[in-house]
């Protein structure tokens, strides 16, 4: 749950930062990168135009410098490769410095251009392939799956706790067990029967099987990364491919041992130990009520819930 919240918060921060850059900002970033790539590291819009005053240059100075540089960089006078792109870049830079975007460029020039790779600016420079997109979707799906498991477990636990409190309130109106320490059978609005015992446990009675299943919030399986697709899918993929060969190899590499013949005395001793363990287990599962009635408890197949016969 904690990691899912951290992931959601990180995505929200990235989305906020992405919304902070406008299309004009992206254009300034792109031109700045191209300028440093072709003209040299540290080249600015002002130095490219030959303006020594930098951001303090006036509109008249910028226009005059642009006209001078356009005559020098015109493709007709410079038939070299890349002259057309360099001349076009000059015109775009001059328009930025002579327009409203000049203030924005001066801000980034003073504060620094973004160096981190978390916005559309990064996407413009590096377009992720299909594999990167699939990995990202897989991670997001796993985090969402974990969040859903956490919410489901919390909801189910609250539901069981609510059933227990409602049944006890109905069975014990004064808030205390009955004086004779007897159990109370009640029914909810849907017709299900619950049994409240003096020890405070609440059991769901099944009329079809004549069994009672305990309501215990601790039986709710908590959320775990091992239950998400982040863990199950790689395990399934491994078992479906390489896992088959690994299991076969392990089985064939193990030496086959013949079982030893047991003596009659050891077999009897073993049976005696098993009988003692079984008796101890039955005693642990027995519950003696105040009226002298003995109730046995066993584990329900496929779950942690217990039942009473």
Task: Tell me the pTM.
Answer: 0.43
Region of 302 (left: φ > 0; alpha: ψ -120 to 50; beta: rest) is left
CB 192 within 8 A of CB 262: no
For the chain, 309 residues long, the average pLDDT of each consecutive 10-residue run is 47 46 82 87 90 90 91 82 86 91 90 64 58 85 92 92 90 87 87 89 86 88 89 86 65 45 44 43 45 46 44
The per-residue pLDDT for 62 is: 92
Superfamily of domain 22-113: DnaJ domain (1.10.287.110)
The SS3 call for residue 133 is helix
| CA separation for the pair 7, 10 (Å, rounded) | 5
The per-residue pLDDT for 136 is: 85
CB pairs under 8 A, 24+ apart, for 153-156? 153/220, 153/221, 153/222, 153/223, 156/220
> Domain-by-domain residue ranges, the chain?
22-113, 223-253
Going 70 to 75 to 79 to 84, the CA torsion angle's sign is: positive
């Amino acid at each position: 749950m904690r990691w899912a919240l951290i992931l959601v918060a990180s995505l929200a921060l990235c989305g906020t930062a992405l919304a902070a850059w406008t299309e004009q900002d992206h254009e300034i970033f792109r031109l700045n990168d191209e300028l440093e790539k072709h003209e040299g590291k540290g080249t600015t819009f002002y130095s490219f135009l030959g303006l020594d005053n930098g951001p303090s240059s006036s509109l008249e100075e910028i226009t005059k410098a642009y006209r001078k540089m356009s005559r020098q960089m015109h493709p007709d006078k410079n038939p070299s490769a890349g002259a057309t792109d360099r001349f076009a870049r000059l015109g775009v830079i001059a328009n930025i410095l002579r327009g409203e975007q000049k203030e924005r460029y001066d801000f980034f020039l003073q504060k620094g251009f973004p160096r981190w790779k978390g916005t559309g600016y990064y996407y413009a420079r590096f377009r992720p392939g299909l594999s990167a997109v699939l990995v990202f979707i897989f991670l997001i799906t796993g985090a969402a799956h974990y969040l859903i498991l956490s919410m489901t477990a919390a909801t189910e636990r609250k539901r069981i706790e609510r059933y227990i409190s409602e049944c006890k309130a109905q069975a014990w109106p004064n808030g205390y067990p009955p004086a004779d320490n007897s159990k109370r059978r009640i029914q909810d609005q849907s017709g299900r029967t619950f049994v409240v015992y003096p020890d405070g446990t609440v059991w769901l009675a099944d009329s079809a099987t004549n069994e009672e299943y305990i309501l215990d919030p601790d039986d709710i399986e908590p959320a775990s990364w091992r239950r998400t697709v982040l863990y199950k899918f790689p395990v399934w993929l491994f078992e479906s491919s390489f896992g088959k060969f690994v299991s076969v190899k392990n089985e064939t590499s193990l030496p086959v041992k013949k079982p030893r013949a047991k003596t009659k005395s050891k077999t009897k001793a073993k049976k005696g130990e098993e009988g003692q363990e079984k008796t101890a287990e039955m005693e642990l599962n027995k519950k003696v009520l105040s009226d002298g009635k003995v109730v046995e408890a066993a584990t329900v197949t496929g779950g942690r819930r217990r039942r009473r016969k």
